[in-house]
Amino acid sequence: MMNKTDKKIKMVKLGDVVDINPRFDNSISIDSTVSFVPMAGVSENGCLLFEESRKLDEVKKGYRYFQRGDVLLAKITPCMENGKASPTNLLENEIGFGSTEFHVLRATEQINWRYLFYMVWNDLFRANAKKKMTGAAGQKRISTAFLSSYKIPLPPLAEQKRIAEILDLADEARRKRKKNLALYDDLIRSLFLKTFGDPVNNQYNFSRGTIRELINEVKYGTSKKADTSKGEYPVLRMGNITYDGNWNFSSLKYCDLEKEELDKYLVHNGDMLFNRTNSRELVGKTAVFREKNPMAYAGYLIRVRPNKYANIEFLSAHLNSKWAKQYLSAKCKSIVGMANINAQELQDIPILIPPLDLQNQFAKQVEEINQQKAREQALYDQHDNLFNALLQRAFKEML
């Protein structure tokens, strides 16, 4: 994106050109309607997934303040490592509040806000930030001090805008493909409601019970330390399960297992994993494992296998339903900023118990939808690879 003949770009401290975690403007009316963005509302793909409208007095205390146009950056692992960051230019309201596990970055007149977003969202920044994270293992954070002193390349404003525009075009192309992928997830959710109805209303008068009645196994994962480069088995961690019930294998670690540990700590095609510990917004993420080769799974996850009365696709779709996510958020226990649903509490979750034939019919339709989705995924991957190549080139050339 830049020629070798270009002048050397000056390096500046991020804190010199960005207002980090700006203070709340007390002149704003307490009756104002504001946007609320939980951690789950920000995608690992760098965009705002959803927001809620709330009154200012509901969120003024205990949440992070920002304005439309600021950049949200997750400061907690693994959210930061997985790329949870988003511009807020599309907020419905001028004022917003979100999880305190966000850093808020406000561009000054010296830096283009889109350039700023791409700067902190790229892999190079995240890799550098990861090395400097502080706190206990498994719960580390990026400090404000690190952000303030972090040196970034700052070309002239016109060049910043040019770089951002090129990245915007490539990003737009891949996001269109991403929206197509999301339609398949929406289709599965609609199919669930059409087949089984609303779990609250139970309009088809199915039997009611608990998940305990539909499973024959729940097992916690391994606590072995995983390595980024060596080990026989990839280790699935909480960041590998997405909020909408899919998989992200872009960040894997590895471990070795003893022969006697294989049955306990490997997940196979047709098993389901449940994320028992995470932030309140993310606890309970659930996905069916559909890969051919088994993988290990970490202790923050629970492996679930159904009994003869249940199909695993039905169980997963139920736990990914809007009702189940609301239930889990209300029932989880918070300890030092993390929420938890243990294996017993998982089994106590209420559930409808439709006939197995109907569950199997649903699972067959889900399989057909996922086959179509896989073809769309291949097209998205092409656009995603192009975008990432441009992103890395833009900042590697300047560093």
Q: Burial code of 148-172, b = ≥16 C-beta within 10 A, e = fewer?
A: eebebbbbeeebbebbbebbeebbe
Mean pLDDT, to the nearest integer, of 101-110?
A: 96
pLDDT of residue 3: 44
The H or E element that residue 189 is part of is helix 157-196
Mean pLDDT, to the nearest integer, of 243-247?
A: 92
Q: Are 11-154 and 207-353 the same fold in CATH?
A: yes
pLDDT in tens, 288-331: 999 999 999 999 999 999 999 999 999 999 999 999 999 998 98
* 300 vs 370: CA distance, rounded Å: 27
Q: Which residues pair with 65 in a beta bridge?
A: 97
pLDDT in tens, 149-169: 999 989 999 999 999 999 999
Band (pLDDT 50/70/90 cuts) for residue 258 is very high
- Res. 397: pLDDT tops 80: no
- Report the percent of the chain where pLDDT is more than 70: 96
- Res. 398: pLDDT tops 60: no
Position 115, amino acid: Y
pLDDT of residue 67: 94
Range 11-154: architecture per CATH: Alpha-Beta Complex (3.90)
Alpha carbon distance, N-terminus to C-terminus of the chain: 13
- The tokens 């737009």 sit on which residue? 172
Quick count: other Cβ atoms within 10 Å of Cβ 99?
24
So where are the chain's domains? 11-154, 207-353
- Res. 1: pLDDT tops 60: no
Band (pLDDT 50/70/90 cuts) for residue 2 is very low
* 159 vs 181: CA distance, rounded Å: 33
Q: Burial of 344 by CB count in 10 Å (0-12 exposed, 13-18 middle, 19+ buried)? A: exposed
Band (pLDDT 50/70/90 cuts) for residue 276 is very high
- The tokens 């959710």 sit on which residue? 189
- Res. 4: pLDDT tops 50: no
The H or E element that residue 263 is part of is helix 262-265
Residue partners of 233: CB distance under 8 A and separation at least 6: 254, 255, 256, 257, 266, 294, 295, 296
Asked if 180 contacts 374 with a C-beta cutoff of 8 angstroms, the reply is no
* 270 vs 319: CA distance, rounded Å: 16
Quick count: other Cβ atoms within 10 Å of Cβ 10?
11
What is the chain's mean pLDDT, rounded?
Answer: 91
pTM, to two decimals: 0.67
pLDDT in tens, 211-243: 999 999 999 999 999 988 889 999 999 999 999
pLDDT of residue 343: 95
CATH for the stretch 207-353: 3.90.220.20
- Smallest CA-to-CA distance from 120 within 135, 136, 138, 142 is with 142
- The tokens 């806000």 sit on which residue? 113
pLDDT of residue 5: 39
- Smallest CA-to-CA distance from 167 within 394, 351, 375 is with 394
